[in-house]
Chains A and B, each alone.
Chain A
Amino acid sequence: MTSVSAAASPGTTQPLGVATITIGEPGQHTSVFPFGGSLRSGTRYQQAYSADNFNGLGPILISSIGFIDGNGGLFGTSSYRFGLSTISADIDALSTTNFDANRGN
Chain B
Amino acid sequence: MLLDIVISPGATPMPTSAGFSARSNAFGVRVQPIPRFGSAFIGWGLVTRFAYAPVTVSNLIEVVARSADAGTITGTGGDGAGATITAWLALLSAAEASIDRGNHRAACAQLRQAHALAAPRCISPVDDHR
Give the B-binding residues of A (Cβ under 8 A): 1-2, 7, 14-37, 39-54, 57-87, 91-92, 94-97, 99, 102-105
New contact pairs (6) apart from A64-B51, A74-B14, A94-B2, CB-CB < 8 Å: A22-B49, A49-B48, A60-B52, A61-B63, A76-B12, A78-B8
**B81 interface residue (CB < 8 Å to A):** no
Q: Is the CB of A35 within 8 A of B18?
A: yes
Q: Is the CB of A49 within 8 A of B47?
A: no
What chain B residues lie within 8 Å of A68 (beta carbons)? 20-21, 47, 49
A69 to B62, CA, bound (A): 29
| Choice from B11, B27, B59 contacting A53 with Cβ under 8 Å | B27
What chain B residues lie within 8 Å of A32 (beta carbons)? 17-19
| Choice from B6, B21, B28, B52 contacting A29 with Cβ under 8 Å | B21
What chain A residues lie within 8 Å of B49 (beta carbons)? 20-23, 65-68
Q: Is the CB of B7 within 8 A of A78?
A: yes
Q: Is the CB of A103 within 8 A of B7?
A: no
What chain A residues lie within 8 Å of B52 (beta carbons)? 17-21, 57, 60-63
Q: Which of B4, B15, B54 has the most CB of A within 10 A?
A: B4
What are some 14 contacts across the A-B interface (CB < 8 A)? A22-B47, A24-B29, A28-B47, A34-B7, A36-B18, A42-B11, A44-B4, A44-B7, A49-B28, A69-B21, A75-B18, A86-B1, A91-B28, A103-B4
**B32 interface residue (CB < 8 Å to A):** yes
| Choice from A58, A85, A95 contacting B4 with Cβ under 8 Å | A85
A84 to B15, CA, bound (A): 30
Q: Is the CB of A52 within 8 A of B28?
A: yes
The answer to whether residues A61 and B20 also contact, given A46-B32, A85-B2 and a CB cut-off of 8 A, is: no
Chain B interface residue count, CB cutoff 8 Å, equals 59
How far apart are A5's CB and chain B's nearest CB, in angstroms?
A: 9
A31 to B29, CA, bound (A): 14
What chain B residues lie within 8 Å of A28 (beta carbons)? 21-24, 47
The answer to whether residues A63 and B45 also contact, given A15-B56, A46-B2 and a CB cut-off of 8 A, is: no
What chain B residues lie within 8 Å of A87 (beta carbons)? 1-2
Q: Is the CB of B3 within 8 A of A54?
A: no
**B10 interface residue (CB < 8 Å to A):** yes
